[in-house]
């Protein structure tokens, strides 16, 4: 039975002594996740293809003496088994277990607006602006890599549950509200891939709980990242002006998500062992407006 002091936020959401891995951790939602975890006591390894971005993110955003730490570990291309095997080996040399994997690496893929009512014009627009190769790259990065990254780290994740209790280890898959809605947004390949990521999260949750590992997913709306803002600043952070979000006309919050709001979602799923197999939309109310499935 819990004492009232057990409900203090710093106790419920502390990840002190957690060991975490964040793919795509050098910018955007990956970096937000790393910041939230490190600020609350975790040792967070961030990985990605760009070593300079990882090192810059760690330099600017380590929480200092009162938190955990952000450690760059790369390069790692999550679409390559050899890189994932090396990531596992590097981590296994450093750590006995991993408490949390945040799979945040992703790309947006090609864009082609289905904005023609004439079928011939519609075909021309979509046919000429997308390719099989781009679709495959998007699926590989946004779906297949999530699966193989998780599989590569399964032994280290299971080790956390063995030493810290049932379902102590978990995976948070960063999917997207785009994988839940029916509006293509000009991104057929991205939205289709994210739909697959959503379902993959459910499949892994059901299957990997046998190994005492939870799997949940966060489906973000518009958050500042290199994907939405097209760039990062010198500190690897991006800005998404409110007016850019308001132009879309389907965001009840009338702004992009704040970094801290993503951090809240990450900490909730990281700590609550009674949540498993869920897709948490953090979207400013978009899915109340745009048709979902």
Residues 199-236 have pLDDT tens digits of: 999 999 999 999 999 999 999 999 998 888 888 889 89
**Secondary structure class of 209 (helix, strand, coil):** helix
- 81: Cα separation from own chain's centroid: 20
Q: Which pLDDT value is given to residue 291?
A: 83
Beta partners for 20? 44, 100
* d(C-alpha 96, C-alpha 90), whole Å: 11
Q: Where are the domains of the chain?
A: 14-288
User: Domain 14-288 carries which CATH code?
Assistant: 3.40.50.720
- Residues that are catalytic: 175, 190, 194
Q: Which pLDDT value is given to residue 232?
A: 86
Beta partners for 54? none
Q: For the chain, list residues with pLDDT below 50.
A: none
Q: For the sheet containing 100-103, what is the strand order?
A: 69-72, 43-47, 19-23, 100-103, 169-174, 213-220, 279-282
DSSP states of 76-115:
--TT-HHHHHHHHHHHHHH-S--SEEEE------------
Q: Which pLDDT value is given to residue 64?
A: 84
User: Which own/partner pairs from 236-244 qualify as long-range (CB within 8 Å, at least 24 positions apart)?
Assistant: 236/26, 236/27, 236/31, 236/53, 236/56, 236/57, 236/60, 236/61, 237/27, 237/31, 237/60, 238/27, 238/28
**Tokens describing residue 268:** 């909730």
Q: Which pLDDT value is given to residue 226?
A: 84
Other CB atoms within 10 Å distance of the CB of residue 271: 18
Q: Which pLDDT value is given to residue 42?
A: 97
Of the candidates 253, 199, 197, 191, the residue with the CA atom closest to the CA atom of residue 223: 253
* β-pairing verdict for 169-174 and 213-220: parallel
* d(C-alpha 200, C-alpha 249), whole Å: 30
**Tokens describing residue 164:** 């810290």
**C-beta separation of 217 from 19 below 8 A:** no
Q: Which pLDDT value is given to residue 66?
A: 78
* d(C-alpha 27, C-alpha 251), whole Å: 23
Other CB atoms within 10 Å distance of the CB of residue 285: 14
**Secondary structure class of 225 (helix, strand, coil):** coil
**Tokens describing residue 147:** 């699966």
Q: Which pLDDT value is given to residue 231?
A: 83
């Amino acid at each position: 039975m819990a004492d009232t002091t057990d409900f203090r936020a710093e106790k419920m959401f502390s990840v002190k002594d957690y060991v975490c891995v964040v793919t795509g951790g050098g910018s955007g939602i990956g970096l937000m996740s790393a910041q939230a975890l490190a600020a609350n006591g975790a040792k967070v390894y961030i990985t990605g293809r760009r070593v300079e971005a990882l090192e810059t993110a760690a330099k600017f955003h380590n929480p200092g003496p009162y938190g955990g730490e952000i450690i760059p570990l790369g390069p790692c291309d999550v679409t390559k088994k050899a890189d994932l095997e090396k990531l596992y080996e590097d981590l296994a040399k450093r750590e006995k277990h991993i408490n949390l994997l945040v799979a945040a690496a992703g790309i947006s893929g090609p864009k082609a607006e289905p904005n023609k009512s004439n079928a011939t014009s519609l075909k021309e627009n979509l046919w000429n602006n997308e390719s099989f190769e781009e679709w495959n790259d998007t699926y590989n990065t946004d779906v297949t890599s999530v699966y193989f990254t998780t599989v590569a780290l399964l032994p280290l994740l299971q080790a956390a549950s063995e030493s810290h209790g049932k379902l102590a280890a978990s995976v948070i898959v960063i999917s997207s509200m785009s994988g839940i809605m029916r509006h293509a947004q000009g991104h057929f390949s991205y939205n289709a891939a994210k739909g697959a990521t959503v379902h993959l999260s459910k499949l892994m949750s059901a299957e990997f709980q046998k190994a005492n590992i939870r799997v949940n997913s966060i489906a973000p709306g518009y958050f500042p990242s290199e994907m939405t803002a097209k760039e990062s600043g010198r500190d690897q952070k991006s800005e998404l002006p409110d007016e850019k979000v308001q132009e879309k006309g389907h965001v009840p919050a009338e702004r992009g998500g704040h970094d801290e709001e993503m951090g809240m979602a990450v900490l909730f799923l990281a700590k609550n062992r009674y949540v498993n197999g869920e897709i948490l939309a953090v979207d400013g109310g978009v899915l109340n407006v745009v048709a979902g499935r």
